[in-house]
Amino acid sequence: MKKKINFHLYLIGGVSIILTTIFITFIFYGLFQQQVKRDLKNYGQLLAQNYTLSSNSIMFKEKVMGDLRITIVKQNGEVVFESYADVSQMDNHGNRPEIIDAVNRGEGNSVRYSSTLENDTFYYALLLKDGNILRVSKQTHSIMTLFLGILPLVVGLATIIFLLCLILSQVLTRRIITPIEKMAENIEALEENIAYDELIPFARTIKMQNNHILKQMEYLEQEKNKIQMITDNMSEGLILLNNDKNILTINNSAIYLLSEKEKDYIGKNILYLSRNEQLNNIINSAADGESSSAYIFVEDKHLEAFANPVYYKENMVGLMCLLLDVTEKKESEKIRREFTANVSHELKTPLTSILGYAWLIKNGVAKQEDIKNFADRIHHDANRLILLINDIIKLSELDDPRKDMNLEGVDLYEIAKECVSSLSVSAQNKEVSLEVVGESHKVIANRSMMEELIYNLCDNAIRYNKPSGKVTITVKAEKENIILSVEDTGIGIPKEHQSRIFERFYCVDKSRLKATGGTGLGLSIVKHIVQQHNAKLVLDSAVNLGTKITITFMK
Ligand SMILES: Nc1ncnc2c1ncn2[C@@H]1O[C@H](COP(=O)(O)OP(=O)(O)O)[C@@H](O)[C@H]1O
Ligand SMILES: [Mg+2]
């Protein structure tokens, strides 16, 4: 704007200077011509008064002033006197306009331009009393030579004026623009800073639009934060890519699932984030306009990845990639598969032995004295089957997340006492003493699950104890929590097995399993119950010294 105003002011200044110069030259030249004409007329009339018939050309010659030229011409055009030239050489002047006018009207004027001399000659002719015509003439500069003569002066002056124009236009422009710039600097207080009244409607519109833009920006910011919050708190990984597979947006989960390295991936190619072949394959298919998905394995995580092209108004504007962590799902699938195989195996073993003994008895192969023994074995194995099936049912019930927990205030001390009495026979058989210490404490829990939990722990503590061993069940409060612990002085669990004993069908010593009569499911039932009650389990065991399992219930 400044440049434009300046340029226009320069242009106006320049054109004004040129036009003024031309007009003034013409006006002055006009005045000058009039002055020359007036002077010539005065001279002519003055000379005519002094002119007598007797006077001769010498009189004129003596009186000639400056560059004034005097000619006497007869009415027929013949030159009788000329102050500057030889009369005999001169041609007839009868056709000169000033002479014709003088003959007809008593006086005449004319101006003629000589291109060879580049000047104008002014003529004034006057009819004398004796009938001759007196003509005075004077040469002056033509307008062109006059103009060229003063040109350096004009150019000099014009330059000075033009420079003044430049300075003035700069100052003026600044004066016009500065208030507008101040307005622009403080859009908030636009109406208080109005530079010119003409700008009031303009300022109002700007203010309105500014407010509108601010509101829109605030709204967009809020929306952006909302989306950011959602994506950041999503456990699924989300990546948005442009058509060149450069990352536009990536949430924390995606970074965690794919690389674990906190880096700024925005603007970088997907390869910079992950070189996983399957992931890049589905992204390439999405880039070709096809939705696809794949299971990918990154470090120790199983991920399910989906890649889709994103369209806006029928044009593909980018790609979206969603990553789901299915590690747990995969792992529980694996556990379930192994469990099914194990269950079949565990059920088959006692059934096969039952079938075998029953066959021997049925076909009379068994001796009479062995029949009781065989019947005992069948009884034992059928019992074992029942135990197994009961445990499997319990586990599958615990596995069902839809099951109602039926929570109530349960006194752990009381349950421990009941458990001790129901296990007293087997404890006596193993020569193990049982003791419950502590005091009554209630936890919010499922009663039968608590019975199952304490029973399993006590059962193990007796089962894996040594003769004249001891089992202590403690129920106490610590800070905000209720603690239940079952401690024995038994065989203990070797370090390398400690992390695995909670797995289904896991037992430290397979050969002893049958002898001890366990199912290998007790501790996995315990683990499930503890998880469902949001409690914490700690195992502390040393081989040959004993085992202590502590469960902390949060209040
Ligand atoms: N108190 C304990 N002392 C020593 N070993 C134990 C104890 N409790 C559990 N174990 C070991 O952990 C394994 C798994 O226990 P559990 O799941 O209850 O199965 P089960 O008792 O039917 O064998 C047992 O086979 C045993 O080897
Ligand atoms: Mg057990």
pLDDT tens digits along 226-247: 988 888 888 899 999 999 999 9
- Position 208 scores a pLDDT of 87
Q: In 221-300, at which residue ranges do the beta strands (DSSP E only) sit?
A: 237-241, 247-250, 292-298
Residue-wise pLDDT tens digits, 117-143: 677 888 999 998 888 888 888 888 777
Nearest CA to ligand 1 atom 24: 507
Fold: same for 234-325 and 330-399: no
Could you identify the atom of ligand 1 that is nearest to the CA of residue 517?
22
Q: Is the CB of 520 under 6 A from ligand 1?
A: yes
Question: What's the CATH code, domain 234-325?
Answer: 3.30.450.20
- Position 81 scores a pLDDT of 80
**Residue 61 neighbours by CB under 8 Å, 6+ apart:** 83
Task: Tell me the domain boundaries of the chain.
Answer: 2-147, 188-227, 234-325, 330-399, 408-553
Could you identify the atom of ligand 1 that is nearest to the CA of residue 508?
27
* Closest ligand by atom to 520 CA: 1
- Position 104 scores a pLDDT of 92
Fold classification of 330-399 (topology level):
Helix Hairpins (1.10.287)
Residue to substitute in 463, 472, 506 for testing ligand 1 pocket (most ligand atoms within 8 angstroms of CB)? 463
Amino acid at 77: G
Residue-wise pLDDT tens digits, 383-419: 999 999 999 999 888 877 667 788 999 999 999 999 9
Distance 510 CA to ligand 2 centre (A): 13
- Position 130 scores a pLDDT of 84
* Closest ligand by atom to 499 CA: 1
Q: For the residues 264-288, what does the mean pLDDT come to?
A: 92
Neighbour-count burial for 515-524, b at 16+ CB within 10 Å, e otherwise:
eeebbbbbbb
Does domain 408-553 correspond to CATH entry 3.30.565.10? Answer: yes
Q: Is the CB of 507 under 6 A from ligand 1?
A: yes
Could you identify the atom of ligand 1 that is nearest to the CA of residue 509?
27
Residue to substitute in 460, 489, 506 for testing ligand 1 pocket (most ligand atoms within 8 angstroms of CB)? 460
Does domain 2-147 correspond to CATH entry 3.40.190.10? Answer: no
Distance 377 CA to ligand 2 centre (A): 21
Could you identify the atom of ligand 1 that is nearest to the CA of residue 488?
1
What is the greatest pairwise CA distance in the chain?
202
Distance 493 CA to ligand 1 centre (A): 8
Distance 480 CA to ligand 2 centre (A): 30
Distance 548 CA to ligand 2 centre (A): 14
Could you identify the atom of ligand 1 that is nearest to the CA of residue 549?
1
**Residue 545 neighbours by CB under 8 Å, 6+ apart:** 489, 492
Cα–Cα nearest to 308, from 317, 296, 299, 300? 317
Q: Is the CB of 108 under 6 A from ligand 1?
A: no
Residue-wise pLDDT tens digits, 106-115: 899 998 887 7
Helix (H, G, I), strand (E, B) or coil at 136: strand
* Closest ligand by atom to 462 CA: 1
Q: Is the CB of 460 under 6 A from ligand 1?
A: yes
147-151, 223-227, 278-282: range with lowest mean pLDDT: 147-151
- Position 64 scores a pLDDT of 52
Could you identify the atom of ligand 1 that is nearest to the CA of residue 491?
4
Asked whether residue 192 carries a pLDDT value surpassing 90, the answer given is no
Q: Are 258 and 298 in contact (CB under 8 A)?
A: yes
Polymer length of the chain: 555
Amino acid at 137: S
Residue-wise pLDDT tens digits, 38-77: 988 888 888 887 776 445 554 555 455 567 788 888 888 8
DSSP secondary structure letters along 412-443: HHHHHHHHHHHTHHHHHHTTEEEEEEE---EE
Nearest CA to ligand 1 atom 8: 460
**Residue 433 neighbours by CB under 8 Å, 6+ apart:** 427, 468, 469, 470, 471
CA distance 36 to 507: 140
Nearest CA to ligand 1 atom 1: 461
Please report, for residues 90, 353, 380, the alpha-carbon distance to residue 363 in angstroms, rounded to integers and kept in the order given.
Answer: 179, 15, 21
Residue-wise pLDDT tens digits, 433-483: 999 999 999 999 999 999 999 999 999 999 999 999 999 999 999 988 999
Asked whether residue 33 carries a pLDDT value surpassing 90, the answer given is no
Distance 191 CA to ligand 1 centre (A): 85
Residue to substitute in 346, 383, 394, 464 for testing ligand 1 pocket (most ligand atoms within 8 angstroms of CB)? 464
Helices and strands (DSSP H and E) totals, the chain:
16, 17
Q: Is the CB of 101 under 6 A from ligand 1?
A: no
Q: Is the CB of 522 under 6 A from ligand 1?
A: yes
Q: Is the CB of 508 under 6 A from ligand 1?
A: yes
Q: Is the CB of 518 under 6 A from ligand 1?
A: yes
Q: Is the CB of 519 under 6 A from ligand 1?
A: yes
58-72, 252-266, 536-550: range with lowest mean pLDDT: 58-72
Q: Is the CB of 446 under 6 A from ligand 1?
A: no
* Closest ligand by atom to 518 CA: 1
SS3 content of the chain, % helix, strand, coil (to 5): 55, 20, 25
Q: Is the CB of 436 under 6 A from ligand 1?
A: no
Could you identify the atom of ligand 1 that is nearest to the CA of residue 486?
1
Q: Is the CB of 465 under 6 A from ligand 1?
A: no
CA distance 190 to 537: 69
